[in-house]
Amino acid sequence: MCGIVGYIGNSAAAPLLLEGLAKLEYRGYDSAGIALVGKPSEKIKAEKPDGCDIVSATPGAKANQGVIEIYKSKGRLSILSEKIRGGADLTANVGIGHTRWATHGKPSDENSHPHRSASGLFAVVHNGIIENYAALKAKLINEGVEFVSETDTEVIAHLLEKNYNGDFLGAARAAVSQLQGSYALGILCAEHPDEIIAVRNSSPLVVGLTDNGNVIASDIPAILAHTRRVIQLSDNEMVRLRKDSVEVYDSSGFPINKKEILVDWDVSSAERGGYDHFMIKEIMEQPQALAATISPRIGADGSIVLDGINLTAKQLAGFRRICIVACGSAYHTGVVGKYVMEKLTRLPVEVDVASEFRYRDPLIDKDTLVIIVSQSGETADTIAALREAKNRGARVLSIVNVVGSTIASESDDVLYTWAGPEISVATTKAYSTQLTMLYIIAFYIAHKLGRIDDRDLRRLLSALNRLPDMVAGILRQAPDIKRISQRYAYLEHAYFIGRNLDYAVALEASLKLKEVSYIHSEAYPAGELKHGTISLIEEGTFVVALACCDKLFEKTMSNIKEVKARGAEVMVVTTDDRRDVISEVDQIIYIPKTNDLLMPSLEVVPMQLLGYYISLARKCDIDKPRNLAKSVTVE
């Protein structure tokens, strides 16, 4: 999705904006641009870099007014950066920047942000979708406004100018009041060259406070190199940044005091640190991420300590059911969660993808515990599902990685996964830590409800505590998995099968492979294949069978034999006590054995490596897979 940055301070803005945008590249984009307000950059203007749109001084400009210059270009950020020589000749201290992920209009120089108003008085960058843009555009055209792009965003620039009478904040308020949809905006005004105005509604935006000015960004990694002091904006809040002040206003325009959050991620956690890709770095970081998520939740006396939960045993006993709602991989953790929670708590657990849940008139009420799972805490469908659940009176507990994000701030209870920043679009360490939190919640509820006793709890927690070391052991097999993966670089199709918890992991294994390698892949409950999909199995079809579930091992083996008999090339992931399988299959990956319920945390790891190494062998753009974005902030 689009990425926004903004800077106002004592330093030259352009290099900082380019650096911030580079940190947001992982979100996915097809073009990039920056706008600066201040003194004109004569040198660049004289050279007029190819493809860049440089707006000259506003007609009738006041003597002391700034000039807005816009440099933008289709394609990679490096193209823009090269054209303006990394911003070396651009001296303005105030600017906004954007990476665009096309929604309205193809990727092109014209459709790239920033967009400007007709006279060049305003420049705007936007993340989100303006749903009523067509009506607004028609009205503006009727009033004589000429549009130069196909975007929904351009209407905002023109609305700002239409509503301006010298009051920048007032114009921003008036323009925003006409918008429907989702937006995070960064706005410049040539007559107020010492201010940036930003606003958010259903699209993420953070403010960073530094000793050398103030910044805005779509995501924390973009500002981490400069500050860890952050203000998370909530929906409909507007902020006016000056180089030495930040004023936040609520939706009615009243100034409000927002809490400053100190983010404890360090800069290196958002850098590749010697790895070729963030994906492999984050896969390798899993032992630390798991330990950081597990250890604070186990008290010295062996009890579970849930920092963000305020649920008493009495309240827990009042829940008739649990509903887990999320998107993508986070949803897949919910599928594991369903098996584990039902088994331990004996409460009915439903799991749903957020985009379905929100529109299906779900049967939930005050007796339902809704568990929302999200790495970013900003996924649009998941936020909508959360609100739907709250409107129906449910108690909402969320598992989130980004502190202070929308989902975290709107939930009744929050449990953070301490995975650190996850940059790769394909989630790995966030998935693993989400899974761990679901385990801990399951143990907690089951114990409070008396469904497991102290001894069971100790046994489960001690197995959980051993996961980081066991995952580290599996990661040492990376060179072997890399070698095996070379063989599958030219695959067109893949099938992942398993039963019970193995099936839940198959869903994630399949997504991991397809999203980065572009190989068509499906996950199936192993016992369900024969009801249709087995007709696709022929000589050489690649089937990965997850067979770690002890009690169903023989059944899965029968399904493996069925696909083998039809010519499939079969890879099996199983526990290291199953030596007899070797002769039956083409490839085998062994992992250590732990408590059956916790096996997903181990078996997913070789599947992440498989997805990564096959994509590497196919020379895919692993950290920025086509059409994908890290944080999906539109519906």
What is the x/- site pattern for ligand M6R, positions 487-516, by CB under 6 A? ------------------------x---x-
Query: Among residues 2, 52, 549, 620, which one is catalytic?
Result: 2
* C-beta nearest to ligand M6R: residue: 328
By CB under 6 A, tell whether 330 contacts ligand M6R. yes
Q: How many residues sit in the footprint of ligand M6R (CB under 6 A)?
A: 16
Q: Is 45 exposed, middle or buried (0-12, 13-18, 19+ CB in 10 A)?
A: middle
Decide if 322 contacts 369 (C-beta within 8 A). yes
Centroid of chain to Cα 75: 22
Choose one: 120-128, 185-193, 212-220, 374-382; the region binding ligand M6R (CB under 6 A): 374-382
Distances (CA, A) of 244 to 229, 238, 240, 496: 14, 17, 11, 55
Binder of ligand M6R out of 328, 404, 421, 498 (CB under 6 A): 328
What is the x/- site pattern for ligand M6R, positions 416-445, by CB under 6 A? ---------xxx------------------
By CB under 6 A, tell whether 610 contacts ligand M6R. no
Decide if 219 contacts 401 (C-beta within 8 A). no
Q: Which is nearer to ligand M6R, 413 or 422 (CB)?
A: 422
Choose one: 75-83, 161-169, 254-262, 376-384; the region binding ligand M6R (CB under 6 A): 376-384
Decide if 198 contacts 217 (C-beta within 8 A). no
SS3 597: helix
Q: Which is nearer to ligand M6R, 31 or 375 (CB)?
A: 375
By CB under 6 A, tell whether 329 contacts ligand M6R. yes
- Distance between CA atoms of residues 320 and 120, nearest Å: 59
How would DSSP label each residue in 31-54? EEEEEEEES--HHHHHH--TT---
Q: Smallest gap, in angstroms, from Cβ of residue 410 to ligand M6R?
A: 14
Decide if 68 contacts 37 (C-beta within 8 A). yes
By CB under 6 A, tell whether 375 contacts ligand M6R. yes
Decide if 426 contacts 327 (C-beta within 8 A). no
Q: Smallest gap, in angstroms, from Cβ of residue 186 to ligand M6R?
A: 22
Q: Smallest gap, in angstroms, from Cβ of residue 297 to ligand M6R?
A: 20
Q: What is the DSSP letter of 64?
A: T
Q: Smallest gap, in angstroms, from Cβ of residue 210 to ligand M6R?
A: 26
Q: Smallest gap, in angstroms, from Cβ of residue 218 to ligand M6R?
A: 13
Judge whether 2 counts as a catalytic residue: yes
SS (H, E, C) 445-473: HHHHCCCCCHHHHHHHHHHHHHHHHHHHH
Centroid of chain to Cα 435: 16
How would DSSP label each residue in 144-188? TPPP-SS-STHHHHHHHHHT-SS-HHHHHHHHHTT--EEEEEEEE
- Distance between CA atoms of residues 487 and 34, nearest Å: 44
By CB under 6 A, tell whether 414 contacts ligand M6R. no
- Distance between CA atoms of residues 71 and 94, nearest Å: 14
Q: Which is nearer to ligand M6R, 428 or 574 (CB)?
A: 428
By CB under 6 A, tell whether 632 contacts ligand M6R. yes
By CB under 6 A, tell whether 197 contacts ligand M6R. no
Judge whether 630 counts as a catalytic residue: yes
Q: Smallest gap, in angstroms, from Cβ of residue 335 to ligand M6R?
A: 13
By CB under 6 A, tell whether 631 contacts ligand M6R. yes
Catalytic residues: 2, 630
What residues line the site for ligand M6R (CB under 6 A)? Answer: 327-330, 374-376, 379, 382, 425-427, 511, 515, 631-632
